[in-house]
Structure 1
């Protein structure tokens, strides 16, 4: 290659990097958004299935817990595999298998024991999505941009949650189709997006001959040979997890937060089911993830600009405000749309603002790009143990008198516990390491 040609190619590298980053982010964002339509749909179909087959809240709580325990195990296991095998394979495999499970549930979901097994399997394969996606963003975006891009990435599962509810509500309530279509239609969409993801995604810049983010920071902006994203081994990833107390604190924080988040996601539609204005109040619940998307973008920006990348202060403060807001919301009647919609948006803001910092920003910063998937899986795994406990406990609570008040009290205690414990990690900031 002549020197002039090489110079012209090298001058175009910043443009290529920018184009690839836009392509990668958009693909990761859309793919993980679509993951959610194959997992949140049970929350809308649940009250219809309970009424049709006379299934108790306790039993459905167990089915929901099967998903979350399998998801938690899958996060621990698949997080490490995401670093070893690469996000492209893991994310594609997870969404395609999950799509197949949703399609099967649409046919045989009336058998409770079959539903429990399939929904548990769905949890394991759904756990192939998030941790590897975080690693992809960590590989492509430098540290100073990760707060911004992790916040944007977090909106994928919030918009995905809202989209899942919209699709399921339209299918089962607005158009009056059977609950089976709440699984069949998402399954078809997920299969299509899984194929598109595999074609479009690349694990890291070096896989297309671009400089790594470490080389880019050193000014080595030149085209190189294509090569695989290097895996540094199981020992490296274990050290990234257990040698950093912020990762441990984040895991506990997410354990508490997911008790609230998934308690609301799984059971709020059911709490509204027997209300005379069910369809109207059901649409109101979409305010929860919409407020969450605003919180994700806002909280990462605040911690970047005003707290010098310290994440725990804003997380702890928002946990405390979440507890207060949940108490106020518990006093409102379900059909109070004037106050209910803004309050649900605020609850979403206070839930997902800290959530995206715990499951996206902190794993990238404290795990580095080389162990981002493993660290994410560890934190998220503990979070979904909390989700499993909440789903089961609230299911039991709903079969008792005064059930709504007790459910809100359970979520308030969880938020306060997270607020208090994270105060002890108030000053943590990421340290500069060999890999970003």
Structure 2
């Protein structure tokens, strides 16, 4: 029975990872379509930034709501519902012809995309105990980073084939549809649904002992968790500064003249994927499981790398490639440490609510950053300035997270 549970434990982690591996095909595709949208609709980059802002705000609001719902409803069905409606939103955008229509549809897409992350985290927490949860969340976060790699690769192929920006909202999401079907038939929300009885861990039904208001109060009254949530806001702003605006920087005015530069951008999500799974081990081995110190070190390194990218000539492909990879590694890697702070600081009963609140902060700040990045480009006329902005944001994140103090993880606390 123990071997069977262990096998199912890994199966649930991998099928959740597999499903989330394709979620960004319906979200991170927008950066590659942005230049085509701006040209066809005759709008500024600041207006494009507002579209991205709207999606991220929809995602942030969704996180606040759906994280708590994941503690009460079926995480599996929330993931399937969110992914399915996101596919419909992407398809509708591919046929849209006005700024307002794209703005509304992309906002709705953000909300429904938000139904997946906290739900997946809840499912994983139900199957993995506190001793191994850091490792499990590291793999889960790696799936998110790898999703960016897949999305960037698909987008690059479509762009080089001179496909319309509309195809970026049609073809990549077909993979998400297939992944949702696999997840539907394999995943179980918690061990009890497959007949297991887990000692020392409360199932998802325990969360129903508290109403939604009490759950949110416990999260928002936890000082350390609020500081960590503020810090992840700046980390996410820097992350989306790279994901959304760096493709625009490397595409230039004519992508045909910069095809080599375009492929360099793929190294950012590759670095992110490897950073996500590595930082769980980095925090354990180098920082004795002190998540805040690990995050601080990663963000300081990210700030330095962003400045170097600004200084290095864009035609130096070897050095730029190395910097692209390391920037992704250190900007996104620490996020794996952020997610483990939810069960560590709040206890296992509030994992979904905690992840939702933390991710809300992440995406509100990322949303605020988007029009700021766009305005910076419109005002200066130089896309390279985004790296200076990223450097500043990373430094702020490092300063804030240094105030977080963590003790032994809380398990099923009634505080």
Shorter chain as normaliser: what TM range? over 0.9
1:168-197 deviations in Å (ceiling 9; x for gaps): 111122x22222211111232222322322
The RMSD of aligned alpha carbons is 2.0
Contact 2:201 2:412 in 1 (8 A): no
1:365 alignment partner in structure 2: 344
* SS of the residue 2:244 aligns to: helix
Tell whether 2:164 aligns with 1:186. Answer: no
How far apart are the structure 2 equivalents of 1:27 and 1:51? 39
Higher mean C-alpha displacement, 404-413 vs 175-184 = 404-413
How far apart are the structure 1 equivalents of 2:241 and 2:396? 16
How far apart are the structure 1 equivalents of 2:162 and 2:327? 30
Query: Residue 435 and residue 207 in structure 1: after superposition, are their counterparts in 2 closer, same or farther (change >3 A)?
Result: farther
Contact 2:344 2:408 in 1 (8 A): yes
Q: Which of 177, 195, 202 in structure 1 is aligned with 2:188?
A: 202
* SS of the residue 1:403 aligns to: coil
Tell whether 2:148 aligns with 1:148. Answer: no
**Higher radius of gyration, 1 or 2:** 1
1:261 alignment partner in structure 2: 239
Contact 2:233 2:361 in 1 (8 A): yes
How far apart are the structure 1 equivalents of 2:157 and 2:313? 24
Higher mean C-alpha displacement, 193-202 vs 279-288 = 193-202
Higher mean C-alpha displacement, 180-189 vs 56-65 = 180-189
Contact 1:140 1:213 in 2 (8 A): no
* SS of the residue 2:378 aligns to: coil
Contact 1:139 1:213 in 2 (8 A): no
Query: Residue 305 and residue 272 in structure 1: after superposition, are their counterparts in 2 closer, same or farther (change >3 A)?
Result: closer
1:274 alignment partner in structure 2: 252
Contact 1:162 1:289 in 2 (8 A): yes
How far apart are the structure 2 equivalents of 1:228 and 1:253? 28
Query: Residue 209 and residue 229 in structure 1: after superposition, are their counterparts in 2 closer, same or farther (change >3 A)?
Result: farther
Query: Residue 88 and residue 213 in structure 1: after superposition, are their counterparts in 2 closer, same or farther (change >3 A)?
Result: farther
Offset of residue 48 of structure 1: 2.1
Tell whether 2:207 aligns with 1:231. Answer: yes
2:317 alignment partner in structure 1: 337
How far apart are the structure 2 equivalents of 1:61 and 1:432? 40
2:301 alignment partner in structure 1: 321
Query: Residue 368 and residue 354 in structure 1: after superposition, are their counterparts in 2 closer, same or farther (change >3 A)?
Result: same
1:290 alignment partner in structure 2: 270
- The unaligned stretches of length 5 or more in structure 1 are 1-12, 217-226
Offset of residue 122 of structure 1: 0.4
1:389 alignment partner in structure 2: 368
Q: TM-score, normalised by structure 1?
A: 0.89
How far apart are the structure 2 equivalents of 1:329 and 1:368? 40
Tell whether 2:289 aligns with 1:309. Answer: yes
1:418 alignment partner in structure 2: 397
Q: Which of 170, 195, 201 in structure 1 is aligned with 2:157?
A: 170
* SS of the residue 2:207 aligns to: coil
Matched residue pairs, number?
410
Offset of residue 405 of structure 1: 4.8
- The unaligned stretches of length 5 or more in structure 2 are none
